[in-house]
Structure 1
Amino acid sequence: MAGMPGLPRHVHMLSMHTSPMAQPGVGDAGGMNVYVAHLAAMLAAQGIDVTLWAARLHDGEPSRRRLGERLEIRHVDLPGGPHRDKNGLRHHLGAFAEAVVEGAGPGPGQVVHAHYWLSAMAGAEVADRLGAPLVTSLHTSALVKNLRASVGERPEPAFRIAGERSVVEASDALVVNTPTEARQMHELYGAPLDRLHVITPGIDPHVHHPPRNDPRDTRPGVDDPIEILMAARLQPLKGPELLIEAMRLLAPDRLPVHATIIGDGNADYLARLRELVDRYDLGAAIAFEPAVPGAVLAERMRAADIVAVPSSSETFGLVALEAQACGAPVVASRIDGLAEAVRDRRTGVLVADRTPRAWADALRALALDPAHRRALGRAGAVRAAGMTWAVTAERVAEVYSSVLRHGHRAAPALAH
């Protein structure tokens, strides 16, 4: 594929603040890590050389590691050693960009694809110095997060908003997950419509598929425990407190409902969540577990009766698509990308109000209707089966081809 006219010889995929190889659900690793890792692997499988670039955040991360015949990852050492403060990385954009430029070397047919605003800030300099087009995927945006923020969520800082505005202007193409995200980028950031490309993320069909023999088909009814699963980085944005509050409202019903919350987070925040569970005497109804590898999480989704995604903001909500592929009905907030990742009343239930009462009502209705759960799960599996990373990679490669044809626009210098 790389030898075909117009396609890149080499893609430099920047993920400065988190290694694509990091365990999702731990630290800053989440859906974006899954996205970058799978997209890179599929592009490499299609014959394009791909180098992943990330800042070294932990001592154990290798400087350079080959992941396949056409795929490698490089971790860049920044001044002062490994950096664990994401926002502090903005002071080292120049050093990161320098390392990428030096490692990439000159040559035609290169594309820089930056993921998240920090990578895009550095990527603008890399693209200018290599004479290569810059493709940006923000994955999340500060203005949208601030608009959707709930009580207790810290607003995104002004320097991030300014940085995102700069990289939108500097990018030759912007890849977004949904039409909603495209509209937000245009209305809030002034992104030109002709630079916006809507490309849906995918699933790995070898990992995300419905169970071969579904134990949910043989359950006699509501007397059996109904397992609700939530998997996310544990932070206010993801809504674990909302799920706990909803479970508190379900307790008087004496429904056999149990929730498992999988993921890691800030120690103080985790302590606060556990405190909440203890205060409501929900220790028998809610369990916390650390983040698990993707294949293990897929098994847990296949065994779950309901997968809950109570986030306040998501550009897509990859976990919701993965859950559907595994045959689990999804209950999710009716916001942003989740409203497009889940088909309301067809593959899951979208909850319009992010209140404990609305969530309790939605969970109760599904808990009491096993036939509806099965129907939603089966429809979700059918829908998600065709949404693979191979399809995503083919469409992203078309964007690369387009920007190579048009060439890189010289962008205003970005402040580091």
Structure 2
Amino acid sequence: MIYLKVLSLTNEFAEESFGGAGTAATGMIHMLDRLGIHQTVIVPRSDWTVPRWDLRGLQIKVLGLPRNSHYFGYLGMINVDAVCQTFPELRQEWDLIHCQAINFTPLAYTFSRGATPILYTVYSFLRKELGDRPEPELQAQFKIQEDLLMRCQRIHLISQSERNYLAERYPQYLSKTDVIPLGISSLPERWQPKSTNEFLYVGRLLDYKGIEDLILALSLVRQSGRQVHLNIIGKGPDYYEDHLNKLVQAKKLTSWIKFHGWQPSSELWRWMSQAAGLVVPSRREAYGLVALEGMTIGVPLIASKAGGLAELVSDSYALTFEPGNVRQLANSLRTAVDNPTLLRSLAAKGHEQALTLEWERLAPRYLRALTFINN
């Protein structure tokens, strides 16, 4: 067994998980734990007022830091002095620093001292995801990420699509890049739909997620006489949630589209298991962990061919459409409503594909990435 002592820095882990990155970080850390990797995890905790150590898994030491101004400052950047003064035991020899969020870069640099290698897992390129917007705060975050790309010793990307972006924008870093997909753990729910016409969206409510396209597509399907319902689970900025609600009202769909806000993972999986299909209409996507969760549960997928999502979801086990193409999305919804037998076949094939991405099957690739960096 290989002995490695890893410091893992992440914004989301276990209970402090709000989306795909948190689910992925949690699954990855537990998978490495089962491989015998000794990990110390530092993660913010929204519901704590004082920091606390916790033990998880086989040998995961977790330090939860309250999300307050003592530990986190401008742009959510970690206060290195506060952490080092309160927890001097963190100043030790690490074999690897695994950075999974840019607000931990000052801490990663401090503990690395230019000697300990840094592995950076990139869940998304911010300049790509946010459209290179000009706001000073966003531009500052873009530059922090680009500095980390330059200074880290290894970059873990989650899809070939993201590697293509890196090759176009930062080709100088290709030689230190590994592409390894995110995995999935076994989920307790299995697909048992309540109806053949009640579909589901799960994810953040942001413009590039394609929710407006989905609402417009549902309007077209309704005009064709089909009684289609849509449940939307997720949160977004207040202004955008208001915009989506007004669009639903303008299209006279308030009886057919319901917003349910944020839900914990157990509730998300229950909703997935009961839906006629899970719709992932993203215009941009680095990976698409929600789609993988749906495949694991066995719910049929209706998904765009956006970025990394196109690598995860195939025509052989999903109904697919071009990103942003409302008419194609509407046609996919009509096909789903009119062909329940086809949906069952796609669901079964999707579930089989999801099994190939269980964390245990990906473990050897992750172990090679971690050990390579120390050779």
TM-score normalised by L of structure 2 = 0.89
Deviates more, 1:387-396 or 1:304-313: 387-396
Deviates more, 1:193-202 or 1:94-103: 94-103
* In structure 2, distance between residues paired with 1:105 and 1:161: 28
* In structure 2, distance between residues paired with 1:61 and 1:381: 42
User: What is the CA-CA distance between 1:386 and the residue it aligns to?
Assistant: 2.1
Q: 1:266 to 1:146 in 2, by over 3 A?
A: closer
* In structure 2, distance between residues paired with 1:398 and 1:195: 14
**Contact 2:97-2:117 within 8 A present in 1 as well:** yes
Confirm whether residue 52 of structure 1 aligns to residue 21 of structure 2: no
Corresponding residue of 1:351: 321
Alignment of 1:168-183 (within 5 A): 168-183=149-164
SS at match of 1:242: helix
User: What is the CA-CA distance between 1:137 and the residue it aligns to?
Assistant: 0.9
User: What is the CA-CA distance between 1:317 and the residue it aligns to?
Assistant: 0.6
Alignment of 1:360-379 (within 5 A): 360-379=330-349
SS at match of 2:374: helix
User: What is the CA-CA distance between 1:96 and the residue it aligns to?
Assistant: 6.9
Corresponding residue of 1:11: 6
SS at match of 1:287: strand
Corresponding residue of 1:226: 197
Corresponding residue of 1:136: 120
Corresponding residue of 1:74: 63
User: What is the CA-CA distance between 1:170 and the residue it aligns to?
Assistant: 0.9
**Contact 1:329-1:376 within 8 A present in 2 as well:** yes
Q: 1:281 to 1:320 in 2, by over 3 A?
A: same
User: What is the CA-CA distance between 1:40 and the residue it aligns to?
Assistant: 1.0
Corresponding residue of 2:291: 320
* In structure 2, distance between residues paired with 1:392 and 1:97: 33
Q: 1:124 to 1:396 in 2, by over 3 A?
A: farther
* In structure 2, distance between residues paired with 1:63 and 1:134: 25
**Which residue of the other structure, out of 101, 105, 115, is the alignment partner of 2:100?**
115
Confirm whether residue 105 of structure 1 aligns to residue 105 of structure 2: no
Confirm whether residue 392 of structure 1 aligns to residue 362 of structure 2: yes
Q: Which has the higher contact order (CA 8 A, sep 6+)?
A: 1
Corresponding residue of 1:402: 372
Q: 1:257 to 1:59 in 2, by over 3 A?
A: same
Confirm whether residue 63 of structure 1 aligns to residue 46 of structure 2: no
* In structure 2, distance between residues paired with 1:144 and 1:347: 28
SS at match of 2:113: helix
Q: 1:354 to 1:93 in 2, by over 3 A?
A: farther
Corresponding residue of 1:88: 75
Q: 1:299 to 1:280 in 2, by over 3 A?
A: same
Corresponding residue of 2:138: 157
- CA deviation string 1:341-363 (max 9, x = no partner): 101x2111232140332321221
Corresponding residue of 2:182: 201
* In structure 2, distance between residues paired with 1:156 and 1:146: 12
Q: 1:304 to 1:156 in 2, by over 3 A?
A: farther
**Contact 1:23-1:291 within 8 A present in 2 as well:** no
Q: 1:286 to 1:95 in 2, by over 3 A?
A: farther
User: What is the CA-CA distance between 1:231 and the residue it aligns to?
Assistant: 0.7
User: Percent sequence identity over matched residues?
Assistant: 23
**Contact 1:116-1:140 within 8 A present in 2 as well:** no
What is the one-letter code of the residue matched to 1:54? V
User: What is the CA-CA distance between 1:238 and the residue it aligns to?
Assistant: 2.1
SS at match of 2:270: helix
Corresponding residue of 1:409: none
* In structure 2, distance between residues paired with 1:94 and 1:167: 16
User: What is the CA-CA distance between 1:289 and the residue it aligns to?
Assistant: 1.4
Deviates more, 1:155-164 or 1:351-360: 155-164
State the Cα RMSD in Å.
Answer: 2.9
TM-score normalised by L of structure 1 = 0.81
**Contact 1:347-1:377 within 8 A present in 2 as well:** yes
- CA deviation string 1:72-93 (max 9, x = no partner): 321235773475x9x6223x45
Q: 1:167 to 1:46 in 2, by over 3 A?
A: same
* In structure 1, distance between residues paired with 2:285 and 2:89: 34
User: What is the CA-CA distance between 1:326 and the residue it aligns to?
Assistant: 1.5
- CA deviation string 1:203-238 (max 9, x = no partner): 112436x44xx558xxxxxxx641211111222232
**Contact 2:50-2:66 within 8 A present in 1 as well:** no
- CA deviation string 1:347-401 (max 9, x = no partner): 1123214033232122122222222211211110011112112233432222111
Q: 1:103 to 1:337 in 2, by over 3 A?
A: farther
Alignment of 1:225-244 (within 5 A): 225-244=196-215
Q: 1:99 to 1:346 in 2, by over 3 A?
A: farther
What is the one-letter code of the residue matched to 2:170? Y
User: What is the CA-CA distance between 1:303 and the residue it aligns to?
Assistant: 1.9
**Which residue of the other structure, out of 36, 41, 45, is the alignment partner of 2:25?**
36
Corresponding residue of 1:410: none
